[in-house]
Amino acid sequence: MTVLVSSCNKTTPAGFWNDFHKDLILTKNSDQGPWGGQEEINWKSESSNMFTDKELVEFADINNWRLIDSISFSVDTLTKKSLSMLKNDDYSLDILNEIVLLKLKSNDNKIFVFKTTWLAVEPGNTRETFENGFAVLNSDGTELKVYQLWGE
């Protein structure tokens, strides 16, 4: 007889993020289907520097998300040229442009791009990437957003 035991927080690829400052999670959105899905978690704190680059990257690393690149930017001044400075593959940058950045409303952010253990495949199977985990931290460390997309 085999018994499968799993944590509630591990039911989705990015589910481990539910354990990160869980008392400060503002919203969660998980959309899963038979061929893939996406996860979005938002945190908010009244205290400056509650969320730091170091803590974020260390927590991600412990959970097998490897930092590939990061860039500081303002939503008002973000350009294709500044995005091209990221060392990511084309499909990863498209996910960033078409999904993650469209949801940002605040200026002065730092985005972190992570290689995860889950594959994202462009519909039609033309491109794929493991660089599909993103974290956006605002400049005063009071807001954090994490996104992951996987499957097709």
Return the half-sphere exposure (C-beta side, CA atoms, 13 A cut-off) of residue 4: 4
Is the pLDDT at 110 greater than 60? The verdict is: yes
Q: pLDDT above 70 covers what percent of the chain?
A: 82
Is the pLDDT at 106 greater than 80? The verdict is: no
Q: Is 7 within the bounds of a domain?
A: no
Determine the average pLDDT of the residues in 99-114: 81
Q: Is 145 within the bounds of a domain?
A: yes
Is the pLDDT at 34 greater than 60? The verdict is: yes
Is the pLDDT at 89 greater than 70? The verdict is: no
Q: Is 99 within the bounds of a domain?
A: yes
Bridge partners (DSSP) of residue 112 are 70, 135
Q: Which of 98, 115, 104, 116 is nearest to 144 (CA)?
A: 104
The confidence band for 21, taking pLDDT boundaries of 50, 70 and 90, is very high
DSSP 76-112: TT--HHHHHTS---HHHHHHIIIIIGGG--SSSEEEE
The structural domain count of the chain equals 1
Q: Is 29 within the bounds of a domain?
A: no
Confidence at residue 17, expressed as pLDDT on a 0 to 100 scale = 96
Confidence at residue 104, expressed as pLDDT on a 0 to 100 scale = 74
Q: Is 10 within the bounds of a domain?
A: no
Q: Is 6 within the bounds of a domain?
A: no
Give residue 107's domain range.
38-151
Q: Is 23 within the bounds of a domain?
A: no
Q: Is 17 within the bounds of a domain?
A: no
Is the pLDDT at 83 greater than 90? The verdict is: no
Q: pTM higher than 0.85 for the full model?
A: no
